[in-house]
Structure 1
């Protein structure tokens, strides 16, 4: 099911949102001091192309520099990308078939606003199958 949703997402809005992230990443990489923002933007472009089956988790080790970087990102590109996700989400929610896509677009707003200190992982890494190691029986 996630593959079907990813293909529909890619055709309807994933390409356009990824292009927005790539443009922001290129601009950030041209300005030497903002290369970490460019790397984060390219990572989010990949996520914007194929979001279903993956999740965003916050790194507990992200510190003050991540916070300062996120504030700069918010002003430079985060607001515009978040507006793009909100507009896309509203447009997707106008049809019954597009509601899951609209919800996915809304879920991408926080990471578009504050990308530094976030990690994109597959759902399998985020929620591994089976009980935690402490609860597994020892044989």
Structure 2
């Protein structure tokens, strides 16, 4: 089912346009040199935008179990700067597209994908894209870890 929805998203939905715009943003960021950390995030989101069904964005630290430059303090500072300069506006664009698509019955699955993209576009540094099953397992592990800490306290 994810394959069919991804094909529809890419060719009949906003997938190709949104993905190309994210790639354009990556090129603009890379050209500025200062924007290189955000260029990587834009490419990650572009690839997610081209094929969103059956995939989800997760923190790299949750996936790997260790902190890196994008999941640490520098990543947080980069995400705050991104949020102020671009993230909020990109998220508004994705939410607007989700509302427009959600008004139609056939566009509801596409609206959900735009909401996923809005979420990741707010704070993209330190995120990675994984299959939905992997993301669900990460969420289960985090929930179990939280439950274990509350039991031992």
TM-score by length of 2: 0.77
Alpha carbons 2:45, 2:117 under 8 Å: kept: no
Q: In the alignment, is the contact (CA less than 8 A) between 1:21 and 1:81 conserved in 2? A: no
Cα deviations by residue, 1:26-58 (Å, 9 ceiling, x for unpaired): 111011122111011011101001100111111
C-alpha contact (below 8 Å) 1:89/1:103 kept by paired residues = yes
Question: Gaps (5+ residues) in structure 2?
Answer: 62-66, 142-153
Mark the runs of 5 or more structure 1 residues left unpaired by the alignment.
Answer: 133-139
How many residue pairs get aligned? The number is 129
SS state at 2:57 partner? strand
SS at structure 2 position matched to 1:7: helix
**Other-structure match for 1:18:** 19
1:66 counterpart residue number: 75
CA contact (8 A) 2:13 2:110 kept: no
RMSD: 1.7
Q: Is the 8 A contact 1:81 1:113 kept in 2?
A: yes
Give every structure 1 segment of 4 or more consecutive aligned residues whose post-TM-superposition deviation is greater than 4 Å: none
